[in-house]
Structure 1
């Protein structure tokens, strides 16, 4: 499953919509995504599973790239 992750680049940053960034991560569960991103120091605001028509829509975006994190 692919998750869309909304985050701030540093854990100390207060979530501000204009500074929120997104990445896509492949994982089986939300917890696995959080574990994969733990060492990056991101302030994760929200995780959203991306499936079906929503996934097809996101794939049309030129910035769509799924991160391969182990």
Structure 2
């Protein structure tokens, strides 16, 4: 499944909506995705499954790229 991860780049800064970034990660579950990105030092706000029409909409963005992290 594909998950959209909303995060701040730093664990030490206060989360600010305007600085929220997103990445797409392939994984089995929310917990699996969180484990895969744990070593990156992100302050994860939300991990959301992306399926159906939502996934098709996201794919239309030219910057759409799914990370396949082992």
Which TM-score band applies after superposition, normalised by the shorter structure?
A: over 0.9
Task: Tell me if 1:41 matches 2:41.
Answer: yes
Task: Tell me if 1:62 matches 2:59.
Answer: no
Q: Spell out, residue by residue over 1:14-70, the C-alpha distance to the aligned partner (whole angstroms, 9 max, x if none).
A: 111110000000001000000001100000000110000000000000111001111
Q: TM-score, normalised by structure 2?
A: 0.96
- Mapped to 2, the partners of 1:26 and 1:18 lie a distance apart of 25
Q: What residue ranges of structure 1 are gaps of 5+ in the alignment?
A: none
Q: What residue ranges of structure 2 are gaps of 5+ in the alignment?
A: none
Q: TM-score, normalised by structure 1?
A: 0.96
- Mapped to 2, the partners of 1:26 and 1:14 lie a distance apart of 27
Give the total of aligned pairs. 70
Give the deviation of 1:12 after TM superposition.
Answer: 1.1
The alignment partner of 1:5 has SS state of strand
Task: Tell me if 1:12 matches 2:32.
Answer: no
The CA RMSD measured in Å over matched residues stands at 0.6
